[in-house]
Amino acid sequence: ERDRQEKMNAIREKDRAAEIASQVVKHKHHFPKVHGCKLAKTDELLLGGDPRSYVYEAHCKECNLRFRNAFYSCEKCEYDICEECFSEKNMTAAEKKAEAARKAALEKQEREAALERRRLKEAREKERRKKWDPKSHFKPRIIDPPEKSTDPDGSKNKGFTVWCSDGYGYDGWHSYEGPPDKEFD
């Protein structure tokens, strides 16, 4: 089994070497600012008989990002470059400076937009909390308990304050047995 695998690998390597050799003529674009060798448009190259852009996940040697379709490639050096890095490498110094300023402005704009979204979210939450009305959730005697219920000495025979909960209102989910049978002080 191992020998068969080794033979298959040797055949694949030989086929790939022949494929690379046949594609040398496609390496006709020379961009000295980008790469020392002539480059080929990636979408014109084959890998295993199929278009390289369909079967190969490229790795840009400039920005280290992985992507499906490199812009230019050098098969001899195994060099791929994405369109953005290619454009950047071919820029003049003034163009690079302008592009850096554009990117910085865009990043600043994105940060400011994120801060504004956060501020609006916090404002909505604060407004929601303000609108929460305890009167809609609690009975009046709980919001404003009688004086004898808040005074530790108010009920001489008990000596403590009893707080009660009326439980859940009828919401269709929790059990509801109606208002309490007994009033507590």
Least confident stretch, 14-28, 51-65, 93-107? 51-65
Average pLDDT across the chain, whole number: 80
* pLDDT tens-place string over residues 153-175: 655 555 555 555 555 556 666 66
Which of 115, 111, 160, 163 is closest to 138 using CA atoms?
Answer: 163
Strand runs labelled E in 52-139: 58-59, 66-67, 72-74, 79-81
Q: Residue 92 corresponds to which amino acid?
A: T
Q: Is 0.75 surpassed by the pTM of this model?
A: no
Which whole number is the average pLDDT over 71-84? Answer: 87
The CA dihedral of 146, 150, 151, 154, to the nearest 10 degrees, is: 50
Residue 11 has pLDDT above 60, yes or no: yes
How sure is the predictor about 126, in pLDDT bands with cuts at 50, 70 and 90?
Answer: confident
Q: Are 167 and 179 in contact (CB under 8 A)?
A: no
